[in-house]
Structure 1
Amino acid sequence: MSSPSPDRLQGAVAALCPEIEQRVRRNERPHSERELWRELSCCLLSSQVPYDLADAAAQAIDREGLLLSGHVDPAAIEALLSAPLDLAGRLRRYRFPVARAAQLAATHQAVIDEAGGLVSLLDSFVDAGVARRWFVTRAPGFGPKQASMFLRNVGYSYDLAVLDRHVLNYMLALGLTQDRPPGTLTNYRRWEAQLTDHARELGYPVGLLDWAIWIVVRTARGMRWEVGVA
């Protein structure tokens, strides 16, 4: 099957943006401390792991309330992540139980030390850029992509781009960039600025546009614009 043309990709993404925008606006509301921790854990756990598996792991952690106390035991998280997870009736194992358990526990401690909880922490930031930098520099396991995803998914900001491989493939397919894939926060911001310009041309915030891109490119058959990033 041939790869979709750049024009078809852009058209499909643009057609999906209004639906995503409506869905986001309908669901806008303050999030509880528990909801924020569930989303944070899902974003951290999704690095180099299929999103549906990361989501199942995050739900398991949430059910046990492992991130809701003042002190988190990484061994308890590791034990849970090491056990098979039910994914639509199939048992799957999480890929990095030891490393991610340690990162979640360390991130939890950093949040508690800084502000006492995620609600207070998010309220303390002056803007989304400052918030993202805090997570990238202070939360183990969080790069720019995971931090941007968390802040977008909880409705904190739609002005940050989640540059996963699907979005990067889209950018390369449309000729939006010829740069190397972003490896540092500085390079990430350069790619983000290029995608933000494209989003502005289409009339949507970049944080909603990249959501549409993720859906379209993930489901497109025959993609050939791989750039070798997770």
Structure 2
Amino acid sequence: MSSLVLTVKMLHEVYKRRRNEIQKRIFEFKNLLKRPEEDIFVELCFCLCTPQSRATTCWNVISKMVKEGILFYGSADDIALCLKGVRFRRNKAAYIIEARRLFAEKGQIKIKSILLEFKNPLVARNWLVKRVKGLGMKEASHFLRNVGLGLDLAILDRHVLRSLKELNVIRNVPRTLTKKVYEDIEEKMRIFSRKVEIPMADLDLLIWSIKTGFVFK
């Protein structure tokens, strides 16, 4: 984990080196909706697992459950058992089960048509936060970004918030993120994104990669 204090100069230097890798990942996000319904649901489950847990750990256990058929057919106990290394795994297993029920139609996952009904990502995010238990503003933004529908949304995890403070975009890292606080910081990040001429989705992946050492999702 990087302990360097982030600067605008550093952002541009690292972006120059990692731009192709970052934009390749964003291209993958944009094309995800062309994939089967189950792949979209996998991304949702990944985002449900990420609060207070390592993203790489979450992705690894979700991928393992997909291969073993547990994510779509396992019980809450089966899923919780697989979520080793993920905090609050019993709660998150319950969230996955509830999401599976929410998006089930005649025994099949149907999620793409619902997402494509919304007129913009903000409306989609509000609906997801309201309807999908366990999904907050950050997780809903993360999910929408990962399926190519929220490239202008901010994913305000601890890495991004601390970095925005280091970059003087915000004065302090808030103790809690209410909807209003989240949206206020998100707008400040958009303004900063335009100022430094790095798109929002690129900026998020860039900051995350600087703080962790690699581009992920």
TM range (shorter): 0.7 to 0.9
Quote the offset at 1:17 in angstroms.
Answer: 6.4
Identity of aligned residues (%): 29
Q: Does 1:104 align with 2:96?
A: yes
Distance 2:29 2:146 in 1: 11
1:50 matched residue in structure 2: 54
2:144 matched residue in structure 1: 151
Distance 1:31 1:9 in 2: 36
Q: Which runs of 5+ in 2 are unaligned?
A: none
* Paired amino acid for 1:205: P
Distance 2:163 2:207 in 1: 7
Aligned residues: 207
Distance 2:196 2:170 in 1: 17
- Kindly provide the CA deviation profile for residues 178-225 of structure 1, in whole angstroms up to 9, marking residues without a partner as x: 1552511221110000000111122233122111111112239xxxxx
Say if 1:180 and 1:124 are closer, same or farther in 2 by CA, change over 3 A.
same
Give RMSD over aligned pairs.
2.7
Q: Is residue 145–residue 151 contact of structure 2 (8 Å, CA) maintained in 1?
A: yes
1:39 matched residue in structure 2: 43
* Paired amino acid for 2:150: S
Of the candidates 168, 179, 202, which is equivalent to residue 208 of structure 1? Answer: 202
Distance 2:82 2:25 in 1: 32
What TM-score, normalized to structure 2? 0.83
What TM-score, normalized to structure 1? 0.79
After TM superposition, the structure 1 stretch with the greater mean CA deviation from structure 2, 167-176 or 5-14, is 5-14
Say if 1:81 and 1:26 are closer, same or farther in 2 by CA, change over 3 A.
closer
Look up the SS of the partner of 2:103 in the other structure. helix
Of the candidates 81, 84, 94, which is equivalent to residue 86 of structure 2? Answer: 94
Q: Which runs of 5+ in 1 are unaligned?
A: 83-92, 221-230
Say if 1:31 and 1:10 are closer, same or farther in 2 by CA, change over 3 A.
same
Q: Does 1:139 align with 2:143?
A: no
Distance 1:27 1:74 in 2: 28
Distance 2:45 2:6 in 1: 36
- Kindly provide the CA deviation profile for residues 57-76 of structure 1, in whole angstroms up to 9, marking residues without a partner as x: 1112212334446xx73233
| Larger helix proportion of the pair | 2
* Paired amino acid for 1:80: C
- Kindly provide the CA deviation profile for residues 38-66 of structure 1, in whole angstroms up to 9, marking residues without a partner as x: 11111111111111110111112212334
Q: Does 1:217 align with 2:215?
A: no
Q: Is residue 66–residue 76 contact of structure 1 (8 Å, CA) maintained in 2?
A: yes
Say if 1:205 and 1:194 are closer, same or farther in 2 by CA, change over 3 A.
same
Of the candidates 23, 26, 31, which is equivalent to residue 24 of structure 1? Answer: 26
1:10 matched residue in structure 2: 11
Q: Is residue 155–residue 204 contact of structure 2 (8 Å, CA) maintained in 1?
A: yes
Say if 1:42 and 1:175 are closer, same or farther in 2 by CA, change over 3 A.
same
Distance 1:112 1:48 in 2: 28
Quote the offset at 1:22 in angstroms.
Answer: 4.4
After TM superposition, the structure 1 stretch with the greater mean CA deviation from structure 2, 138-147 or 104-113, is 104-113
Q: Does 1:170 align with 2:163?
A: yes
Quote the offset at 1:98 in angstroms.
Answer: 0.9
Q: Is residue 42–residue 58 contact of structure 1 (8 Å, CA) maintained in 2?
A: yes
Q: Is residue 37–residue 67 contact of structure 1 (8 Å, CA) maintained in 2?
A: no
Distance 1:112 1:179 in 2: 42
Q: Does 1:125 align with 2:129?
A: no
